[in-house]
Structure 1
Amino acid sequence: MAKGSGLGVRGGLLLGLIIVVVLAATGVWNPFPGMWEWVNRRQPISEPDVVWQERIGGTPRSVTIAGDAVVVEQRTRVEARSLAAGSQLWERKADWTAVAGAGAEAVVVVGRLLVKGYEVLDPTTGATRRRDDDAVAVWTYRNLLLDARCVEATDCTLSAWEPRGTAPLWTAFLPGVSSGLFADNPNLLDTRRLTTARIHDEVAGPEAVPPLLGFPVDGRVHVVDTATGRVLQNVEPGRDERLAVIGGRLLHIAARSQDGSCYFAISGRDPASGQETWQRAGLNLRTADSAGCVQREDPYGARNVLVGVAPDGRETVLDGYDGRLLLVVENAERVLAVDDRYAVVRTGDRGAVSTRELGSGQVRWNRPAGAKAGAALTPYAVVLADEKPNRLAALDPRTGLELAVLRTSANALAVGPAGMVIGEGREIGYVRFGAGDPPRDGAPPGDGTGPALGPANPGDGPRPQDSCGPKNELCVAPDTGK
């Protein structure tokens, strides 16, 4: 047989491709749309499958459940999707996005970088409810929206609004704002969350506004009462101090370097009088780095509590209002997540996680988990992320009841009263909680009482915010007129 005879494999493939192209061009037969649909086919991001799954235009920066909508923030735009079906409700350009309010009172706040002002949008329709052209920074909470506007660099006004309000509740004067305070939710002097892989930092959505906020301005801290707008303190920290406003107190955290070690002392002070109400020595709140004990970070914690390390190496949870130790774990145990009610703790053998009630230390439930499991506490569920095999689980914080358990490598993006949003790359999906009745919007699962935090007498100071509200307004007995 003579060499080189015939088309060969490559020639045959080329001839076949030419025939397909000719058939497609003449309209006789076009396989390309079907081929592209097969290549682009979406694979379920979890097992069991989600209620709905959609591909968005880019990797989400944040996802928040706002009433009946899912608000997806991307790099240069924001879109909202139906919580029930996943269909797109609206989309618009925005450099930053935040959600204020909860349930039917939720709103979406959007703005542009380096441009003053913001817009308040309806999460379902995208319609503009209110527009501002002067604010330089916005802070969003479940029950309040704050903005700051400056006539001059040293002449600024802080205003508080109900999420859907049209007139400010109060205004307060601030002598300028920090150069870093711009856009949405710039850092204030409070706590920073314990974080973990595969669970988004803002999975719980907006928190209730604390009773007091600490605004950094030119090296000083201005303490503002969020109920009245009154500026209670204007304090400059000492040379070795870091200030934080937590649990209705102004905390002075001192870190002193001596003998190659850092020595810590914490003082809680009444913001109105400036008098010291409690103090503790030796508790490391992880505010300082190893070089000279310089404190560059806020303490870990959430709401009214802080997480620190005792001199014997055991992690502790501290009440910011009165300095009580609400929980002290064993040496090998680690606190994974915390709020005003519970702490999620990894056991010493690294084979399980448990939820402990703050104040009493009672173990609510235990659950087997891998050595690298992470957790987050939200008002509606404890979220656990595990690997090898990859799992996401949503559990009732009080009982450990399984609300949803998924085989997935996706991330937990947002948790709401009846389900959670998960995502991987550009794919997002909604998982409905299938066990038990979902909690009412704004109320956590369980009895809602939580541990005894703060003062013994109601009305004397902050209480758990999901049960009594940030100013204890939900726990004050109604006036019967008698």
Structure 2
Amino acid sequence: MAKGSGLGVRGWLLLGLTTVVVLAATGVWNPFPTMWDWVNRRQSMSQPDLVWQQRIGGTPRSVTIAGETVVVEQRTRVEARSLAAGTQLWERKADWSAVAGVGQEAVVVVGRLLVKGYEVLDPVTGVTRRRDGDAVAVWTYRNLLLDARCVDATDCTLSAWDPRGTAPLWTAFLPGVSSGLLADNPNLLDTRRLTTARIDGEVAGPEAVTPLLGFPVDGRVHVVDTATGRVLQNVEPGRDERLAVIGGRLLRITARSQDGNCYFAISGRDSITGQEAWQQSGINLRTADSAGCVQREDPYGARNVLVGVAPDGREAVIDGYDGRLLLVTANGERVLAVDDRYAVVRAADGGTVSARELGSGRVRWNRPAGQKTGAALTPYAVIVTDEKPNRLAALDPRTGRELAALRTSANALAVGPAGMVIGEGREIGYVRFGGAAGEPPRDGNGPVPGSTGTGGIPQPQDSCGPKNELCAAPDLGK
């Protein structure tokens, strides 16, 4: 046969493609939609499979479970999806969003950057429940919503709202909140969370408001009672001090440079009198950098407790109200996560993690771990991550019982009373605690609705405050 005769491979491919295009154009046969569906087919992020998995329009900035919905914040919009099926319920243009309240009382707060005001939306319908046109900052909690509005730079009003309320619970005067428009949850002087890879820093959702909040204004700290709105103190830190409001106390944290070292001291002050209530020396709260002991960071901790390093290198958990050492680890152990109930601690050899009860030091449970194991504490579950192989688990904080165990490289984005949302890129999905995908959790008596928190699903354990001040006194009966 002569060289070069015949169509050759390229010729046959061109002929085949031309035939397919002609058939598609004439409506005889169109393979392109099927081919695109195959290319775009979603693979499950997890084994076992999820209750649902959906692709959203962009990488989420935050995800929060609000009652029966999942609220997803993206760069220029916010949307809500059904917790049961993952279907989109509504979408709004917004530059920022946050969730206040919990369960059926939750609301979504949205706003635009460089524009005053915000809207409070129903998480199920997206309908506006309340609109404000003047606020420059908003803070959201499980049981309260705060906003600040300023008629000029030194004349601001702080207002507290029930998340679904229509009238403020109280108002207070502040000589400013900062400069510019601050959007949602600008920094207050409190604790910063211990964080880890593959677990979102806001995985626990909104926290309950603390008894006192510290607002930084022009180098001073204004201490506000969140029950009444009363401004209790207006304090300027010393040259070597950093102030923080934790556990119902104003903390003065001193870092003094001497002989090439930093020397630390912590003083807890009464919120009304300013008198010293407790004092600890030598514990490094990691507020200072290595250059001259300048304190630029809030101390690590959560709710009413702080995490620091004792002079001998062991980590310590401190009660912010009375200064007690609630836990001191052994040499080489590391605190991975903490709230005011438990601390999750990795052993010195990295082979196990355990939950320690604060105050008593009792070990609630142990679990095998690796050197890169991470953890986070939420009101409903302890989230634990492992690498090589990639794992993600949700555990009962009290017993260590597995509520969900996944083989996945996805991140934990949000935890609710009956399950958690995980995500990877633009994909998000929901796993239910206590049962296989699509099945309600079970106990010895049969199915239990996931939203009730019963049937082996741990109830949220919110703090009543260091001296029970956040919880109503028990009704002793009549």
- Quickly name the TM-score band, shorter chain normalised: over 0.9
Confirm or deny that 1:171 pairs with 2:174.
no
AA matched with 1:135: A
Supply the distance in 1 between the matched residues of 2:347 and 2:275 (Cα, whole angstroms). Answer: 39
Q: CA separation of 1:30/1:285 partners in 2, compared to 1, >3 Å: closer, same or farther?
A: same
The question of whether the paired residues in 2 share the 8 Å contact of 1:307 and 1:316 is answered with yes
Equivalent in the alignment of 2:262 = 262
The question of whether the paired residues in 2 share the 8 Å contact of 1:397 and 1:445 is answered with no
Confirm or deny that 1:208 pairs with 2:208.
yes
Supply the distance in 1 between the matched residues of 2:475 and 2:181 (Cα, whole angstroms). Answer: 39
1:14: how far off?
Answer: 1.2
AA matched with 1:463: P
Equivalent in the alignment of 1:432 = 432
Supply the distance in 2 between the matched residues of 1:439 and 1:289 (Cα, whole angstroms). Answer: 45
Equivalent in the alignment of 1:233 = 233
Structure 2 stretches of 5 or more lacking a match? 436-442
Q: CA separation of 1:377/1:440 partners in 2, compared to 1, >3 Å: closer, same or farther?
A: farther
Supply the distance in 1 between the matched residues of 2:457 and 2:249 (Cα, whole angstroms). Answer: 28
The question of whether the paired residues in 2 share the 8 Å contact of 1:189 and 1:245 is answered with yes
> What does 1:47-446 align with in structure 2 at a 5 Å threshold?
47-179=47-179, 182-434=182-434, 436=443
1:472: how far off?
Answer: 3.1
Supply the distance in 1 between the matched residues of 2:269 and 2:214 (Cα, whole angstroms). Answer: 13
The question of whether the paired residues in 2 share the 8 Å contact of 1:335 and 1:344 is answered with yes
For residue 263 of structure 1, give the secondary structure of its aligned residue in structure 2: strand
For residue 125 of structure 1, give the secondary structure of its aligned residue in structure 2: coil
The question of whether the paired residues in 1 share the 8 Å contact of 2:434 and 2:457 is answered with no
Supply the distance in 2 between the matched residues of 1:416 and 1:309 (Cα, whole angstroms). Answer: 32
For residue 126 of structure 1, give the secondary structure of its aligned residue in structure 2: coil
Supply the distance in 1 between the matched residues of 2:189 and 2:39 (Cα, whole angstroms). Answer: 49
Supply the distance in 1 between the matched residues of 2:181 and 2:376 (Cα, whole angstroms). Answer: 27
AA matched with 1:472: L
The question of whether the paired residues in 1 share the 8 Å contact of 2:50 and 2:429 is answered with yes
- Once the two structures are superposed, residues 237-268 of structure 1 have per-residue CA deviations (whole angstroms, 9 ceiling, x without a partner) of 00000000000000000001111111101000
Equivalent in the alignment of 2:39 = 39
For residue 147 of structure 2, give the secondary structure of its aligned residue in structure 1: strand
Q: CA separation of 1:446/1:311 partners in 2, compared to 1, >3 Å: closer, same or farther?
A: same
- Once the two structures are superposed, residues 334-376 of structure 1 have per-residue CA deviations (whole angstroms, 9 ceiling, x without a partner) of 0000001000001111011100000000000000012101000
Supply the distance in 2 between the matched residues of 1:480 and 1:146 (Cα, whole angstroms). Answer: 34
Percent identity over paired residues: 82
Alignment partner for residue 478 of structure 1, among 458, 475, 478? 475
The question of whether the paired residues in 2 share the 8 Å contact of 1:439 and 1:445 is answered with no
Supply the distance in 2 between the matched residues of 1:433 and 1:92 (Cα, whole angstroms). Answer: 30
For residue 21 of structure 1, give the secondary structure of its aligned residue in structure 2: helix
The question of whether the paired residues in 1 share the 8 Å contact of 2:380 and 2:458 is answered with no
AA matched with 1:477: P
For residue 19 of structure 1, give the secondary structure of its aligned residue in structure 2: helix
For residue 394 of structure 1, give the secondary structure of its aligned residue in structure 2: strand
Supply the distance in 2 between the matched residues of 1:166 and 1:242 (Cα, whole angstroms). Answer: 37
Supply the distance in 1 between the matched residues of 2:460 and 2:44 (Cα, whole angstroms). Answer: 36
For residue 113 of structure 1, give the secondary structure of its aligned residue in structure 2: coil
Structure 1 stretches of 5 or more lacking a match? 454-460
Question: Which segment is superposed worse, 339-348 or 177-186?
Answer: 177-186
- Once the two structures are superposed, residues 207-241 of structure 1 have per-residue CA deviations (whole angstroms, 9 ceiling, x without a partner) of 00000000000000000000000000000000000
- Once the two structures are superposed, residues 16-37 of structure 1 have per-residue CA deviations (whole angstroms, 9 ceiling, x without a partner) of 1111111111111111100000
Supply the distance in 2 between the matched residues of 1:326 and 1:203 (Cα, whole angstroms). Answer: 25
Question: Which segment is superposed worse, 171-180 or 345-354?
Answer: 171-180
AA matched with 2:470: N
Equivalent in the alignment of 2:438 = none
Supply the distance in 2 between the matched residues of 1:309 and 1:178 (Cα, whole angstroms). Answer: 32
Supply the distance in 1 between the matched residues of 2:397 and 2:263 (Cα, whole angstroms). Answer: 35
For residue 336 of structure 1, give the secondary structure of its aligned residue in structure 2: strand
Equivalent in the alignment of 2:466 = 463
The question of whether the paired residues in 2 share the 8 Å contact of 1:398 and 1:445 is answered with no
AA matched with 2:149: R
Q: TM (normalized to structure 2)?
A: 0.94
For residue 16 of structure 2, give the secondary structure of its aligned residue in structure 1: helix
1:462: how far off?
Answer: 3.0
Supply the distance in 1 between the matched residues of 2:4 and 2:316 (Cα, whole angstroms). Answer: 81
Supply the distance in 2 between the matched residues of 1:209 and 1:289 (Cα, whole angstroms). Answer: 29
The question of whether the paired residues in 2 share the 8 Å contact of 1:381 and 1:445 is answered with no
Matched pairs, number: 465
The question of whether the paired residues in 2 share the 8 Å contact of 1:379 and 1:445 is answered with no
- Once the two structures are superposed, residues 165-193 of structure 1 have per-residue CA deviations (whole angstroms, 9 ceiling, x without a partner) of 00000000000111277100000000000
Q: CA separation of 1:28/1:449 partners in 2, compared to 1, >3 Å: closer, same or farther?
A: closer
Q: TM (normalized to structure 1)?
A: 0.94
For residue 34 of structure 1, give the secondary structure of its aligned residue in structure 2: helix
Supply the distance in 2 between the matched residues of 1:235 and 1:111 (Cα, whole angstroms). Answer: 32
The question of whether the paired residues in 1 share the 8 Å contact of 2:417 and 2:457 is answered with no
The question of whether the paired residues in 1 share the 8 Å contact of 2:379 and 2:461 is answered with no
The question of whether the paired residues in 1 share the 8 Å contact of 2:417 and 2:460 is answered with no
Supply the distance in 1 between the matched residues of 2:338 and 2:453 (Cα, whole angstroms). Answer: 20
For residue 207 of structure 2, give the secondary structure of its aligned residue in structure 1: coil
